[in-house]
Structure 1
Amino acid sequence: MTIRTVSIIGLGALGIIFAKHFSDNLPKGDVRVIVNQSRRQRYEKYGIYCNGERCDFNYVLPESEQKPADLLIFCVKFNQLQQAIEDARYQVGEHTIILSALNGISSEEIIGKTLGMEKILYCVAQGMDAVKIENKLTYKNMGMICFGEKENTTWSEKVTVVADLLDKLKFPYEVPKDMDHRLWGKFMLNTGVNQTVAVFSTNYGGIQVEGEAREVMIAAMREVIALSHKVGINLGESDLTYWLNVLAKLNPLGMPSMRQDMAANRKTEVGLFSGTAIYLGRQYHVPTPTNEWLYQKVQEMEKDFDMQK
């Protein structure tokens, strides 16, 4: 099998990065950006910009019946996932491979339950420092995607054909041997970074240096390490060091999606981060005081901007 057609649903920061890179390196008609009618009209009128360049995407409506895509990539926020699954149905055929670039540790199973787990490869996007304000995206580091089956000592056919495509497009990637471990590592990072940057109203620079914000971030991450031992993932200090090194390379002026949502008075994905940590902490009797504090602070901030509307 060779991947020739790619469909992308979700034009947040990751969706734009993927759609721009793929559209620049494949025939325009082979890269579909799935959007509803109102979004297509808005995007065609006002444009989508990536590092100052207007993007010329091939917008496709969810109801458009066509040959299924070889590769489907989900790039929506978690609260948009169920609608995105419905909107992507016509893109999925017997041999379609699906990647989910969503935050958290549950989206693959949710997508697979409807569209078929046999089509799923697990995926983590890391190292991006993109900032999206309205219809304009800027970034310095495009990062990479890590993907694969849960265990990749030997690559499956699905892993091999996706790797072949990314090699052809010169898109940075890695195939970790243990995807569960990598997913939990990214979950640990997000739980620390996204929430701390949002609560302290700062940017990556604010948690790349010593101080209260960085201490809170690391404390939240250590709680996830403790939880990981209860579910058999067994994150450790080497994982903490690895992800802190990833964080250190990001543009100090950049900020994660949760901080961007806060700045735009949008509801956040706090339930994916501290919400999940608190739930698992209660299930396995692991204290999560830092995540409970972060969850409460985010809830208070969201109430404040609800009152401002």
Structure 2
Amino acid sequence: MRIAIFGAGGVGGYFGGRMIASGSDVTFLARGNHLSAIRQYGLSIKSPLGDITLKNVQAVENIADAGPVDLVIVAVKLWSTEEVAKTLIPIVEQGASVVSLQNGVYKDEALRKYLPSEAIMGGVSYISAVIEEPGVILHKSPLQALTFGEYDRTRSERAVALLDICQKAGIDATISDDIERKIWEKFVFLVGLSASTASMRQPIGAIRANPKSRGFLLDLMKEVVAVGRARGVALPEDFAEDRLTYCDTLPAGMTASMHHDLMQGNRLELPWLSGGVATYGRELGLPTPCNRAVEDILALYCDGQ
């Protein structure tokens, strides 16, 4: 399986790097100084699971330069999804499959505007990683997992092939028979973590320790559960409480990538996270006051400084 990874940041760079280190055929699509550094020096990963330095990494700026591809892993920021989807039309017509590891629940809806549904496999990533400097990925905790699967719940050959690649790379990977629910399960937690750490400018440890901020975190996630259930996703009624318990197990210093982007003055994925929850709420006639508050509070920073 020849893999192209659209985006060589924390998610794409880490998982792609692990795949390359185990012998898989992977080409990165990157831009700017990060692309230049990868081409000149290779890709380095700093990780509590062991550092990796990769030389002679295949990296291009345009998908047309990647050659024949069997699978495209999309790992760009959410605002680039439709732009990426348009560029993938030719290689999907040639038989390539696509799996997005992006945040949120809007990603595959955006891909389906341009690509046939049968080409798209659902996917979720679990990792805290960022670009520390051009050509260097910093993996912040031992967690590094992928879940993927077909929306029709079949166990496809392409899912099994990707699972084999992940297992050889030492990536904790599973195939799900209900990938839509898995995506929403992560969305519940992700919205809570991103909205709370970014709006409060604090890591999860401080937020969960204070009764008021802890209550706000729980309410953020309850709103996502209510919206998901209204859309027909099989989330348990008490799933927000389950995710709050999970938050208690996280490293106290953990923040979301949106917090990192806010602190760096970068553009935010806000419209597709808390903003997305608020939009779904309006469409469904469901109140989402906490997520709307986060959307409004962070609106000044949404496009970066």
TM-score, scaled to structure 1: 0.85
Residue 167 of structure 1 corresponds to 167
Provide the C-alpha distance between the structure 2 equivalents of 1:63 and 1:281, rounded to a whole number of angstroms: 36
Deviations 1:184-229 (A, max 9, x none): 1111112111011001111232344343332211101101111122
Residue 50 of structure 1 corresponds to 45
Provide the C-alpha distance between the structure 1 equivalents of 2:180 and 2:63, rounded to a whole number of angstroms: 34
Q: How many residues align?
A: 298
Note the aligned Cα RMSD (angstroms). Answer: 2.6
Residue 139 of structure 1 corresponds to 140
Residue 293 of structure 1 corresponds to 293
Q: What SS does the aligned partner of 1:141 have?
A: strand
Residue 18 of structure 2 corresponds to 21
Q: 1:146 to 1:12 in 2, by over 3 A?
A: same
Residue 36 of structure 2 corresponds to 41
Aligned pairs for 1:28-177 within 5 A: 30-36=25-31, 39-44=34-39, 48-51=43-46, 54-56=53-55, 57-62=57-62, 64-65=64-65, 67-88=67-88, 92=92, 94-126=94-126, 128-135=127-134, 136=136, 137-152=138-153, 154-177=154-177
Amino acid across the alignment from 2:226: A
Is the contact made by 1:265 and 1:302 (CA closer than 8 Å) also made in structure 2?
Answer: no
Q: 1:238 to 1:170 in 2, by over 3 A?
A: farther
Amino acid across the alignment from 1:299: A
Amino acid across the alignment from 1:124: V
Q: What SS does the aligned partner of 1:130 have?
A: strand
Over the matched positions of the two proteins, sequence identity in percent amounts to: 23
Q: 1:211 to 1:91 in 2, by over 3 A?
A: farther
Contiguous gaps of at least 5 residues in structure 1: none
Aligned pairs for 1:119-268 within 5 A: 119-126=119-126, 128-135=127-134, 136=136, 137-152=138-153, 154-268=154-268
Choose from 2, 8, 14 the match for 1:5: 2
Q: 1:243 to 1:55 in 2, by over 3 A?
A: farther
Is the contact made by 2:197 and 2:255 (CA closer than 8 Å) also made in structure 1?
Answer: yes
Amino acid across the alignment from 2:9: G
Residue 282 of structure 2 corresponds to 282
Q: 1:17 to 1:179 in 2, by over 3 A?
A: same
Is the contact made by 1:130 and 1:138 (CA closer than 8 Å) also made in structure 2?
Answer: yes
Cα shift at 1:88: 4.5
Q: 1:302 to 1:275 in 2, by over 3 A?
A: closer
Q: What SS does the aligned partner of 2:113 have?
A: helix
Is the contact made by 1:105 and 1:183 (CA closer than 8 Å) also made in structure 2?
Answer: yes
Q: What SS does the aligned partner of 1:115 have?
A: coil
Question: Which deviates more from structure 2 when the two are superposed, residues 286-295 or residues 178-187?
Answer: 178-187
Provide the C-alpha distance between the structure 1 equivalents of 2:232 and 2:222, rounded to a whole number of angstroms: 16
Contiguous gaps of at least 5 residues in structure 2: none
Deviations 1:88-120 (A, max 9, x none): 556545432211011111212322332332121
Provide the C-alpha distance between the structure 1 equivalents of 2:168 and 2:145, rounded to a whole number of angstroms: 15
Provide the C-alpha distance between the structure 1 equivalents of 2:74 and 2:38, rounded to a whole number of angstroms: 19
Provide the C-alpha distance between the structure 1 equivalents of 2:15 and 2:271, rounded to a whole number of angstroms: 26
Q: 1:302 to 1:46 in 2, by over 3 A?
A: farther
Amino acid across the alignment from 1:129: S
Q: What SS does the aligned partner of 2:251 have?
A: coil
Question: Which deviates more from structure 2 when the two are superposed, residues 276-285 or residues 83-92?
Answer: 83-92
